[in-house]
Amino acid sequence: MTKLSVNINKVATLRNARGGNNPDLIQVAKDAERFGAQGITIHPRPDERHIRYDDVMALKDTVTTEFNIEGYPDKRYMEIVRLAKPHQATLVPDPPEALTSNTGWDTITFQGMLKDIIAELQETGVRTSIFINPDPKYFEPAKTTGTDRVELYTEPYASHFHQDKEKAVAPYVTVANLAKELGLGINAGHDLDLHNLKFLKEKIPFMDEVSIGHALICDALYYGLENTIQMYRRQLES
């Protein structure tokens, strides 16, 4: 079964736009789990433009499904993970000023660095995943870092899905099979939505988890959060 982890960054962005605590991020996390989310994902950034340090500490005592913290593995991120002890730490290569994640790791160039970081995280009992592009050359080096999983960066798939979905998904099927052969767990995320998620799941039925935030929160404006989460769950279970 492929699990649905709901990224709640956009909820924090909305709250921060006006100050105060509306919407209540912690209550949204609780409700998302109650509505069927099988995990909660956050990506705290140094400028705290959405998720704040205090949010992380509150969520670590709130999330009852799977808690996933994404981020660039600098000193601040590593300290947050050590304190929060999430179920999973997803390492992304984006710099602090990036608007959103826009590429995966060059696991050839950064192999040594990732190996050291992953070993440190695994000593604390945290499962690790690294954000990765759908290029086979990065997967053998990813395996040598010791990571438990890889997260397929799916923006290119989503961008080309409506033009030619078979062509768009082909590189992902290739690398997913390679990852499976290497014994790596497989996550996926970025720009997945109600239009393209089911097809990706059909082509890679052995994915462990997808992390979805922006599209899911946008859909919730129309359909409501409970209904939206169930709609996404059905895409993964059909």
Point out the residues that are catalytic.
43, 70, 190
Instruction: Compute the Cα dihedral for 111, 117, 122, 127 and give only its sign.
Output: negative
Phi, psi of 109, rounded to the nearest 5 degrees: -65, -40
What CA–CA distance (Å, rounded) separates 85 from 167? 39
- Buried (b) or exposed (e) across 149-171, using 16+ Cβ within 10 A? bbbbbbbbbbeebeeebeebbeb
Pairing of strands 67-71, 39-42: parallel
Residues 6+ apart with CB under 8 A from 52: 12, 44
User: Which residues are bridge partners to 7 per DSSP?
Assistant: 41
Which DSSP string corresponds to 128-165? EEEEE-S-GGGHHHHHHTT-SEEEEE-HHHHHHTTT-H
Can you tell me whether residue 74 is helix, strand or coil? coil
DSSP-assigned states of every residue in 50-61 = SS-HHHHHHHHT
Of 36, 26, 9, 93, which Cα lies nearest the Cα of 236?
A: 36
